[in-house]
A and B are shown apart, each in its own frame.
Chain A
Amino acid sequence: MRFGIVVFPGSNCDEDCHHVAKDLLGCEADYIWHHDTDLKGADAVILPGGFAYGDYLRAGALARFSPVMESVAAFAKKGGPVLGICNGFQVLLEAGLLPGAMQINRGLRYVCRDVTMRVENDATPFTSLYSKGSLVTMPIGHMEGNYTAPPETLDLLERDGRVVFRYCDREGRPTDAANPNGAARNIAGICNREGNVVGLMPHPDRCAEALLGNDAGVKMFASAVAAMAAR
C-alpha cells in the first residue's frame, strides 16, 4: 500500500499525513511536489491541509492550477481513492473534483477545536471502517469551512448519500449550535458520485494516536488500506 501526499507551496499538514501513513500504519508514503505530474505509483492520494499559496486569493484557488492536479484528476477518474483534508478539500472544490464552494466561517474567525460528526456514508474507501450513524470526534482548524452549494446540488448530495460526515451534537443531532462554521446542512465532508474522491474539513491526521488524546481519525487512513487490500 502506497500513499502519495501532494505538497503545494504552503501545505503544512503533509508531514502529519505522512506520519500517520508511514509511522503509524507502516505503509509506503511519498511526497509529491506540486510541479510533478508523476504520482509515483500511489494507490491512494492525499491532498493535505495547509495554506497552499498562502490562501491569499481564495483557499485552493491557485493550487488547482498546479501541474500535479491534472494527474490527480486523471487518477480520480480511473477510480483511484483521493482524500482532501481541510485545505485539500478546498482544493478539490476549486478543481471541480467535488461540487460546491467554501465561504469564510460565519463567525468570521479561524476556529481550532474539536467537533463531533455523524458518519453518513461508510461506503467510501476512506470510511469503510466506521459505521453509518456512529459519532466521531475530530479537530478542525480553518478559516474557510463554511460549505455552500446551490440547493439542487445539496439535494442531489443528500439523495445520493454523498454527504459523508455531518456536524452534530453529542446526541447525534445536526443542530445549529453544533455547526462550527455555518456549513450548509451541517456538512463536514462529501464525496463524488463514484465515492472515490472524499473531502472533509476536520483533520483525521491530527487525531490518530491515543497519546494525542484521540485516535478516531486513524480509521480513515486504515479504511483506505483495507479498501486496497480488498481490490
Chain B
Amino acid sequence: MITEEVIREHNLSDEEYARIQEILGREPNLVELGIFSAMWSEHCSYKSSRIHLKKFPTTGPRVIQGPGENAGVVDIGGGLAVAFKMESHNHPSFIEPYQGAATGVGGILRDVFTMGARPMASLNSLRFGRLDAPRMKHLVDGVVRGIAGYGNCIGIPTLGGETTFHKGYDGNILVNVMNVGIVPSDRIFLGRAEGAGNPVVYVGSKTGRDGIHGATMASEEFAADEASQKRPTVQVGDPFTEKLLMEACLELFRTDAVVGIQDMGAAGLTSSSFEMAGRAGSGVEIDLSKVPVRETGMTPYEIMLSESQERMLLVARRDRLDEVLAIFHKWELDAVEIGRVTDSGRVVLFFEGRIVADLPAAPLSDRAPVYDRPRTPLAPGAGPFRWREEPEPPDYAACLKQILASPNVAEKSWIWTQYDHMVQSNTVQRPGGDAAVMRVKGTTKGIAMKSDVNPFFCAFDPYRGGAIAVAEAARSIAATGARPVAITDCLNFGNPEKPEVMAQFEAAVRGIADACRALEVPVVSGNVSLYNETDGRAIPPTPTVGMVGLMEDVGKHVRVAFRRAGDLVAVLGDTRDELGASEFLRTVRGRDEGPCPEVDLDAEKRLVDLLATLAERGIVASMHDVSDGGLAVALAECAMQGGLGATLSLEPGVRMSAFLFGETTGRAVVSFAPEHEAAARALAKEKGVPFAAAGWVGGDRLTISAGSRAVIDEPVATLTELWRTAFARALESADVL
C-alpha cells in the first residue's frame, strides 16, 4: 500500500509521484516505487544539475566517449586511449570514513575497467574541516586508510591529489576519487543491453542488505546526530574480490563474447539494468530469484536496491555464454545468467515465478524530472575587504614559515606515503609535484594527471573559481611538460533547493565551461554531489576538476625541484595587487576575506603553451606553477624539493605582501641553464608571456630581495624541516582520534 508517508520516505515529491502515475497509468507497487525513488534521486538523475551541465563543451578531436557512459574516453594516438572519471563518496565517508572512502575507490575503478580499460592511476581530492573540529582527526585518518586499504590491495597506484582544510567542511567532508585507465581504442566496451535473446549475466560478489538506498541518502542533507544512524546504508568494500573481478573482466574483454557491461554502483541492479536497456532502446527480463544473495529472506525490493560492492551486470552473446561463465569461474567468482534482453522496451522483474515489477525502461531516465531551480543573483565583488587597510607585516620570513607550516600548504607525505604510488612500475613523477606523471609502457608517451579546485576562491566567486580550477589544472599539467587533453569533474555543492546554492552551481559550471572552451579541453565525464550540508550549513562550492594531459616523449618530463647550482630562475606571468582568498590572509591575518583573484583565460592558454613548449624543446631544468601561498611559497618549494638555495631579486610593482604571497593566477617559476636564457626569453616573447629574470640557483639559503632590500633570507634546510613535518605535527597535536 503506497501511502503518503511511504512516498515521503522515498524522497519523492507529490509532483514526482504524479508523474510516476502518469507514466505507468496506474499506481506503482512498492518495488516499483523503490526503483523510481533511486533512479530519480538527485544522485542518479542529475535532476537539478542537468540543464546546466549542457553548457559544457564535450567534443573534440580526441574525444572517443563523452559524458553519459561509465567513464569518458580520449584518444592518445598509437591505437591507445585513456578512460577516466571522477566521483564523490562524500556522505558515506562522513558516516564511516574507512569504508566510505574505500568503496569510493572501488566504485571509480569499476567505472574505468567496465569500459575495457586497465586502471593505471588513482587520484583523490579531499576536503576536511579544521583538524580540531569534532571527529575530524578520526575522519582524516579513516579516509586516508580507506583509500590506502583499497587501492594498495588491488594494486593500482594512488599517484596524486590534494587535501585542504577549512571550517566550511567541519560538518561535511568531501572525498572525490578519480581513476585513469588505458584501453586499446578499438576495444572500448559500453553499458548497452543489445540483441534480443542475449543472456543477462550477474557477476561478482553476492548481494547483501548493505547500502540499500545509498543513492537516496546521498541526495539528502544530514542533521548532526543523524550521521551515526545512517550507518547501515554505507557499503563495505572487498578489494580482493574486486581484484579478481577486474582481472576476470579484462580477460573477458580480450574475447568478443560481451555485448555490454555496467558496474552496479549507486542504486545497484536498478540503475545498471534500466540504464543498459534505456541506452540500447531495448528491454530486459530478470528473474531476481537467480541473483546470488548473501543472506536468506531478501525481498525483491532489497535485491533491486542493494548497493553491495564488487558486482557487474553484463550482456553476453547468446552463443558465447559458456565461455563467459568459464572465465569468471576460473577467478572463483559468482557468474549467473539472471535474465535476457528483449525488444519490449520494458524492464520486467520476476521473483519466485511472479512478476514483481513491470516498468518501461527509457522513461525512467528520459522522463526523470528536470528542474530549473530558482537562483538568487550572486554578488561576488562584495566586501568587506578589511585587509586592504592593514599595514604590511613586519617580518616576511616569519609569514613564509607560517604559511609553509599551515595544513593546506605543508607537505602531505603523511598522506601519500600511506598510498602505494609505485605499483605497476609506471610512476615517473611521484606525489608532491605539480601533477602526477606516468609512462605508457610500450610507447614513448607519458600521461600527466591533476585534480584541482580552490574552494576559497569559489566561496567568493564561483564563476571565477570554476574557471581557475580548469586553468590551474592545465598550468600544473603543462608544468610537467604535458599538454592538457580533457577533464572530468566532480561538482560538490550544498542543497540545490536553496537559491543561493543553485546560483553558485550555475556560476561554477559556467566558469568551468568557459575555461574549457578557452583552453580547448572538453569535459568527457563527471559527477554531481549535492546536498552537502549539515544542520543547514552548506559547504563552500567545490567544483573539483580532474585533468589528463599527454606528452609524446615522457623522457622530457620536468619536475618542480631546482636541479643545478648556477641555473637561472625566471618568473613567468604578471603579478597583480591581489591578496583576497589567499593562504596568507587566512593563516597570517586570520581573515576569510575575498575577493577571488582575477583570471585571464587567454593569458592562461599562452602560458600553458609556453610551459609545454619549454619542456618539449629541452630548454628548462625545472618548472613550477604558482598557486597556494603565492610566489614565495612556489620558490621555496622549488628550493626545498631540490635541496638547493637560490638568490632572487625582483621588482614587486605591487604591495610586498601581495607580491610574495598573493595568489594571482597565470604564473609559473622556471629554471634553466644560463646558455638557454636567450631561447627561454625569446620563446616567452613569441608566446606573449611576461618573462622576469629573477636570479640564480645555488647555495643553501633562499634569499628573495625586492628592489635592494632582502625581504626573505632563510636556510633552505630550516624551511624544509618545517614544511615536511608540520602536517604530521598538526595531526598529532589535534585531539585524540
Contacts and interface: CB of A to CB of B under 8 A. Distances in A.
Interface of A: 9-10, 12-13, 15-16, 19-20, 23, 49-51, 53-56, 109-113, 139, 141, 143, 203, 205-206, 208-209, 211-213
Nearest to A55: B153
15 contacts: A9-B331, A10-B243, A12-B154, A19-B441, A50-B155, A51-B154, A51-B239, A51-B243, A54-B240, A54-B241, A55-B153, A110-B152, A112-B419, A141-B423, A206-B423
Interface string B99-119: 000000000000000000000
Given A16-B424, A212-B425, A111 B418 contact: yes
Interface residues of B, number: 33
Given A50-B155, A54-B153, A139 B240 contact: no
A209 B438 CA distance: 13
Given A49-B423, A141-B422, 10 more contacts: A9-B332, A12-B243, A50-B155, A56-B240, A112-B420, A141-B420, A205-B425, A206-B423, A206-B425, A212-B427
A100 B706 CA distance: 61
A112 B153 contact: no
Contacts of A203: 422
Contacts of A9: 240, 243-244, 331-332
Contacts of B418: 109-112
B585 interface: no
Interface in B515-543: none
B722 interface: no
Interface in B77-136: none
A165 to B, nearest CB: 18
A64 to B, nearest CB: 17
B7 interface: no
Contacts of B239: 51, 54
Interface string B216-248: 000000000000000000000011110110000
Interface string B406-440: 00000001001111111111111000000000010
Instruction: Select the residue from B153, B421, B422, B427 with max chain A CB neighbours within 10 A.
Output: B422
B555 interface: yes
Nearest to B555: A211
Contacts of B420: 110, 112, 141
A51 B417 contact: no
**Do most interface residues of chain A lie in helix, strand or loop, or is the interface mixed?**
mixed
Contacts of A10: 153, 240, 243-244
Contacts of B241: 54
Contacts of B421: 112
A54 B238 contact: yes
Contacts of B148: 109-110
Residue from the set B152, B244, B416 with the largest chain A CB neighbour count within 10 Å? B152
A211 B417 contact: no
B554 interface: yes
B428 A212 contact: yes
Given A110-B152, A212-B428, A139 B238 contact: no
A111 B153 CA distance: 13
A149 B239 CA distance: 30
Contacts of A112: 152, 416-422
Nearest to A11: B155
Interface in B138-167: 145, 148-149, 152-155
A212 B438 CA distance: 9
Contact of B423 (A16, A20, A54): A16
Contacts of B417: 111-113
Contact of B425 (A16, A54, A109): A16
Contact of A139 (B155, B332, B422, B439): B422
Enumerate the 4 nearest inter-chain pairs by beta-carbon distance, A residue then B residue, closest first: A12-B155, A54-B240, A16-B425, A51-B153
Contacts of B439: 211-212
A13 B155 CA distance: 8
A141 B425 contact: no
Contact of A19 (B153, B240, B243, B425): B425
Given A10-B240, A51-B240, A211-B554, A206 B154 contact: no
A143 B150 CA distance: 13
B554 A141 contact: no
Contacts of A212: 425-428, 439
Contacts of A50: 155
A54 B420 CA distance: 15
A211 B148 CA distance: 25
B720 to A, nearest CB: 16
Nearest to B331: A9
Nearest to A52: B240
A208 to B, nearest CB: 7
A30 to B, nearest CB: 17
Contact of A141 (B152, B243, B555): B152
Nearest to B559: A213
A13 B423 contact: yes
Contacts of B145: 109
A205 B418 CA distance: 19
B446 to A, nearest CB: 9
Contact of A206 (B243, B413, B422): B422
Contacts of A208: 425
A213 B417 CA distance: 17
A187 to B, nearest CB: 21
Nearest to A9: B244
B424 A15 contact: yes
Contacts of A211: 428, 439, 554-555
B362 to A, nearest CB: 40
A111 B243 CA distance: 21
A92 B152 CA distance: 21
Contacts of B554: 211
A180 B243 CA distance: 28
Interface string B12-52: 00000000000000000000000000000000000000000
Contacts of A12: 154-155, 243, 423-424
Contacts of B149: 110
Contacts of A139: 422
A104 B419 CA distance: 16
Contacts of B244: 9-10
A21 to B, nearest CB: 12
Interface centre among B149, B239, B240, B416 (most CB of A within 10 A): B240
A54 B242 CA distance: 10
A113 B421 CA distance: 9
Nearest to B424: A16
Nearest to B442: A23
Contacts of A113: 413, 417
Contacts of B331: 9
Contacts of B555: 211
Contacts of A49: 423
Contacts of A209: 425
Nearest to A210: B555
Nearest to B441: A19
Nearest to B557: A211
Contacts of B422: 112, 139, 141, 203, 206
A113 B431 CA distance: 11
A56 B555 CA distance: 39
A211 B155 CA distance: 21
B224 to A, nearest CB: 30
A103 B340 CA distance: 50
